[in-house]
Amino acid sequence: LWRYVSDAIRASDQVRATEEKFKLEEEQRRGHRERKEQCVDWVTKLFERDPCHPEAINKYIYKYKNVRPWDGITDLFEYEHEFKVKTRTRIHAPMVKQQSLVAMEVHPPSGDEDLSPRYPKQTGTRRKYGSQSPDRMSSMDEDDVTSFVQYLKPLRESQAELKEQIRSVRSDMRRYQTANREQLSSFYTKDWVLFCFLAIVLLFQWYAQSTQTSAVPEI
């Protein structure tokens, strides 16, 4: 019944909002009288007694209250699902006293693979301060996917640039290794030629000295 009051307030219809609120209060009074006549205790489904005021009779707090601060970067809007207020986010964010709201699976890119996130099928209805049609819901999902892809686009471009830089570095390293291999090969050849030349010179000097020594006559 509160939904009709909210719709009237949103439509700026003060008379209708007052009438709907009166109907709501009458329905609450009627239910209270019936429970009192039947001696039935009222058990709340969405509220619990305030632990800060255990002795107070009419102190209740909302069970599924989201105490996480609003994040303008990841949070999109609040909506109601099965009388529970939840927050729609661009990415999975931890919630307090509440299970995960949107399970979004994003696989790492492989080559030119599409970076579009994959959403599981959701059941139930969503609304941002009111009900929304299926067409509106599907358009919201498409907008979320598009905005998420736009966020990942710079990352994809940076990844492509990084790949090109890695290829360039590898190519330079191959050229450097090939040039060093050829240079070392030429150095080794020159060293062997010089070593052989010195060996021949030393051998020739030794042979000349031996010949001169044998040619000197004994006295």
Chunked mean pLDDT (size 10), the chain, 219 residues:
81 88 88 87 78 76 81 85 83 52 48 49 45 49 73 81 85 79 68 82 81 59
Q: What does the pLDDT read at residue 185? A: 67
84 sits in which H/E element: strand 84-89
Structure tokens at 70: 């609003």
Q: Which of 155, 147, 154 is nearest to 108 (CA)?
A: 155
Helix axes 2-10, 14-38, angle to 10 degrees: 170
195 vs 189: CA distance, rounded Å: 10
Torsion of CA 53, 70, 11, 9, to 10 degrees: 10
